[in-house]
Amino acid sequence: MNISRRGFLGAGGAGALGAALGALGLPRGARAARRKRFKTAETRESTTICPYCGVGCGLIVSTRDGELVNVEGDPDHPINEGALCSKGMSLFQVARNERRLRTVRYRAPGSAVWEDKPWDWALERIARRIKDTRDASFVERVGDVAVNRTEAVACLGGAALDNEETYLYCKLARALGLVYIEHQARI
């Protein structure tokens, strides 16, 4: 005797196919009786790259109603195959963390107290200090050679910066005349 899958399907014909659409769930009558509105939620998953080091591990990020609910390694990513280091594994806490700083904190020289400051104030102050330091330490010539540089400011990039951000950062540093340009992720 010989029952092929095709034969089995054919035997039932269209009626069986239609029935099969609902097969293995609940019988039709029961299904109609139990119909109700479900209270549901929806999780969206998207892939991204870990922002930390230059290894570039793949992540699957889950969000619900626009809120981050989970971060995990991407098992289909060729670099990390689902695994993450301890920093990558705790990425969730970067986005959702009650201890995360929400304003600029400033402690004046000689002071023992931290103050909350607005971003505008902080950016203004950082720019001022960079400009003053640069102007005070700027070297235009060494002997006969024009150098136009400052040796009093260093620039340190981080692997959390992406390619385009790093490009702009480096460009800014060169424009200011910095020569000590370093990066944290030397891979």
Partner 1 sequence: VLAGRGRELLARIRAAGQPEDLAVSVAVLLARPFRSWFGRRLAGPGEHGGWVGGSCPVCGHWPALSMISEQDEGRRWLWCLHCGTDWPHARLRCPFCDEGDPAALEHPHLAGDDRHRLQACRSCRRYVKEFRWSEGREQVPWDAVFFATAELDLMAAERGFLRESPLVSRLSPRASNRTTSKSEVDR
Residues at the site binding partner 1, with contacts judged by CB under 8 A: 1-3, 5, 7-13, 15-17, 19-29, 31, 34-35, 37-47, 60, 62, 69, 72-76, 81-83
Q: Which is nearer to partner 1, 22 or 54 (CB)?
A: 22
β-pairing, 104-106 vs 67-73, is unpaired
Cβ proximity to partner 1: between 89 and 147 the closer is 89
Smallest distance, Å, CB 35 to partner 1? 7
Q: Which one, of 19, 76, 32, 80, lies nearest residue 55 by Cα?
A: 80
Report the nearest approach of partner 1 to the CB of residue 67 (Å). 13
Instruction: Provide the minimum distance between the beta carbon of 86 and partner 1 in the complex, in angstroms, as a whole number.
Output: 15
Where is 71: in which H helix or E strand?
A: strand 67-73
Q: Name the residue nearer to partner 1 (CB basis): 59 or 178.
A: 59
Helix (H) / strand (E) element for 34: namely helix 28-34
Contact predicate 88/73, CB 8 Å: yes
> CB of 59: closest distance to partner 1 in angstroms?
10
Give the 3-state secondary structure of residue 142: strand
The strand pairing partners of 142, in sequence order, are 145
Q: Is 104 helix (H, G, I), strand (E, B) or coil?
A: strand
Least distance between partner 1 and beta carbon 160 (Å): 23
